[in-house]
Chains A and B, each alone.
Chain A
Amino acid sequence: MALIPTLTIKDATTFSDEINFSVTDSLTVTAPSSSLSTIVATATGGDSIIVPASTAIMYLFVRHTGTTDGSSSTTRQVDVEFTTGEAISRLSTGEWLFMPVHHAEADVGVQLHVQHSDPSDVVQLEYAYWKKG
């Protein structure tokens, strides 16, 4: 099974020369995978495990929807982290990441952790992952 990810970065206003580049790849992927899904993350990372523990390389996409439930807006940031608690990245409203996640062959998963201690602060995110074939 093949996955074709393409990244495009554009900026025509910051500098006197335009930034406009695109890169694509053709990835061979295999099971397990998760098609595009949504999850409501909380301040407890262990409640929002999006990639189960594995030693494999997982191509991971995560996007902060900027909402708590698909409609009510929030600006709370969300950490994308290993299930051991070590941070990978921090997403703000509307931001996304795509990367081949791998924790030095350790058997760990990936979870989402809202950066606020109030249990009522939740964030809805989209995610998908595919195991490198």
Chain B
Amino acid sequence: MATTTATVSISSSDLQPGSSLNLHASSTLMQAGLTAGLELVDMGKGKLTETTDRDALHEALGTIDSANWVYLCNNATDDTHYIKVGIHETVIGNLGAGDWMWMPWNMGDADAELNIEAEGYTDCTIPYEYAIFKTAYTLAASTAA
């Protein structure tokens, strides 16, 4: 059986007086319900330019209430280079240089595409990498005659 696990640890030695922070959580990625086993993974990297508007990192299916997860990392080294992350019209996060995020994403609503946009000084280029783990995905029909 396919089993994908996502684990996070968050630590700090100077955040809390008298004690260190050492948070740890792990979960197995499930399909809708409690069935383990994902089928598809999109992984890649690219570059965003400040001059362009937001781009869709992935379109939503808009047909089924499926379970999906998103990993996105801003690989910039200049701390003035941000990536705005949105779901359709709503900006939900702002990734600084080196920052990453992990969250479940429901693509059951057609107006739920995941989009990203570079923020920084004029004409800057921001490298990023991503992975989207999906329960299922229907391939688009060929337009060939």
Chain A residues engaging chain B, CB cutoff 8 angstroms: 1-15, 19, 21, 23, 25-27, 29, 33, 35-36, 57, 61, 63, 75, 82, 86-104, 126, 128, 130, 132
Contacts and interface: CB of A to CB of B under 8 A. Distances in A.
A88 B102 contact: no
B37 to A, nearest CB: 7
Contacts of B9: 5-6, 8
Residue of B2, B6, B73, B106 with most chain A CB atoms under a 10 A cut-off: B6
Interface stretch (B26-34, B44-52, B136-144): B26-34
28 contacts: A2-B12, A2-B13, A3-B10, A5-B100, A7-B7, A7-B102, A8-B6, A8-B9, A9-B5, A10-B5, A12-B3, A13-B3, A19-B41, A25-B99, A35-B21, A57-B96, A86-B90, A87-B87, A89-B105, A92-B104, A94-B30, A96-B25, A96-B27, A98-B8, A98-B101, A99-B101, A100-B93, A100-B99
Contact of B25 (A3, A11, A63): A63
B92 interface: yes
Interface residues of B, number: 50
Top 6 closest pairs, chain A to chain B, by CB: A99-B101, A14-B2, A102-B94, A97-B103, A104-B91, A11-B4
Contact of A14 (B37, B71, B131): B37
A14 B4 contact: yes
B62 to A, nearest CB: 15
Contacts of A98: 8, 10, 101-103
Given A13-B1, A61-B23, A89 B12 contact: no
Given A33-B15, A61-B10, A104-B91, A99 B131 contact: no
Nearest to B23: A36
Contacts of B25: 61, 63, 96, 126
Interface in B43-77: 67, 71, 73
B102 A3 contact: no
Given A61-B10, A93-B34, A7 B100 contact: yes
Contacts of B13: 2
B38 interface: yes
Contacts of A3: 10-12, 15, 21
Contact of B27 (A19, A33, A95, A103): A95
A8 to B, nearest CB: 5
A44 B55 CA distance: 33
A18 B102 CA distance: 20
A2 to B, nearest CB: 6
